[in-house]
Chains A and B, each alone.
Chain A
Amino acid sequence: MSTAMNFGSKSFQPRPPDKGSFPLDHFGECKSFKEKFMKCLRDNKFENALCRKESKAYLECRMERQLMAQEPLEKLGFGDLIDGKPEAKTNS
């Protein structure tokens, strides 16, 4: 909770998510993808950059099962993974 009690400072304004809320996966349809993602994270010491393929697979599973609005993958920040292999690092 925001504990800024001073009047001068700005208070935290929670912002709604850009694309709204995920519908709940009541039937666990994408659970296997999630497990793969979590295993990847644990193996790679929780580095997100190394597990982006698994997160892309999870979101694709959601989109297929109508648990997420269909969206081209570039708009979700997976532009470099579309061809199936990650691009070589262009910026350092």
Chain B
Amino acid sequence: MGGLWRPACRRVTFYGWRWSHPGSPTRVAERVEPCLSTGRSGTGSAERGLRRLGTWRRPNPAPDLAVQPPRRPKSTNPFTRAQEDDWRRRNKTVLTYVAAAAVGMLGASYAAVPLYRLYCQTTGLGGSAVAGHASDQIENMVPVKDRIIKVTFNADVHASLQWNFRPQQTEIYVVPGETALAFYKAKNPTDKPVIGISTYNVVPFEAGQYFNKIQCFCFEEQRLNPQEEVDMPVFFYIDPEFAEDPRMVNVDLITLSYTFFEAKEGQQLPVPGYN
């Protein structure tokens, strides 16, 4: 029996589509009802299909069915076709959202560069982007007199350099915000002029970002003539903000360590640290 009324169903719905206008969905529903009432695919899906047909307002199929729609639906059954169209519509919405999110991410990645720079300037992370380290800061800084810090000095020489390099004081007591002077001494005991270049290190590592050198003898080639001995000063201060950093509460000892290397032509200074 199923085969008999099936074509009738199709014919009915065919008519229904042809005569439907945007304003008269109910006629379509009425015409379709006889084939629906036989319970072909279960009442639930039938009702859904009915509801979909009732709200289906596409003007496209009404006037001309001779023209094929651009995308041929997979089935000719109105209910599954409606469902497919609904899926297609939903897919398009989802696709639009995903495309918008992708474009948004691309824009965010471009915006990240100036935003990160701004963030680094405000927080000064890693000591690499520090704002306000100018001479006017030195002018205006106020020493924090209740926080005494002991600065010890260390001097090292690379194995190939034959200088006698040592600090002239073992330690010095400073407070943050106060400029201090310290001396190292270097002697060239050989008979040839030697050029050395130095670098420094500060321990503990986190205190290093507060240790500011106004002037010293590092990173530039220093030439010592044979048997010459010179005094090498270091003029530095500890940033007053050191006293306000909670991580530095237990730091009372800072060690400044200088290392001299021999400078040869075209040699790159091996900067300590792992970059």
Contacts and interface: CB of A to CB of B under 8 A. Distances in A.
- Taking chain A's interface residues, is the majority helix, strand, or loop, or is none over half, making it mixed? loop
Interface in B38-59: none
Contact of B232 (A24, A37, A79): A24
A71 B127 CA distance: 26
A21 B220 CA distance: 7
Interface in B193-252: 199-202, 205, 208, 212-220, 222-225, 228, 230-233, 235, 237
B273 A11 contact: yes
A20 B259 contact: no
A86 to B, nearest CB: 11
Contacts of B224: 24
A26 B127 contact: no
A14 B178 contact: no
Interface residues on B, range: 35 or more
A55 B181 contact: yes
Interface string A6-32: 000111111111111110111010110
Interface string A57-77: 011000000001001001111
B205 A18 contact: no
Contacts of B217: 21-22, 24
B20 to A, nearest CB: 68
7 nearest CB pairs, A to B: A77-B179, A11-B273, A55-B181, A21-B220, A17-B213, A75-B135, A48-B180
Interface of A: 1-2, 4-5, 9-22, 24-26, 28, 30-31, 34, 37-38, 41-42, 45-49, 52, 55, 58-59, 68, 71, 74-79, 89, 91-92
28 contacts: A1-B272, A2-B201, A4-B273, A4-B274, A12-B205, A14-B218, A14-B272, A17-B216, A20-B215, A20-B220, A21-B222, A22-B216, A26-B228, A34-B233, A38-B169, A45-B173, A46-B171, A49-B174, A55-B180, A58-B181, A59-B181, A68-B215, A75-B136, A75-B139, A77-B141, A77-B179, A89-B145, A91-B142
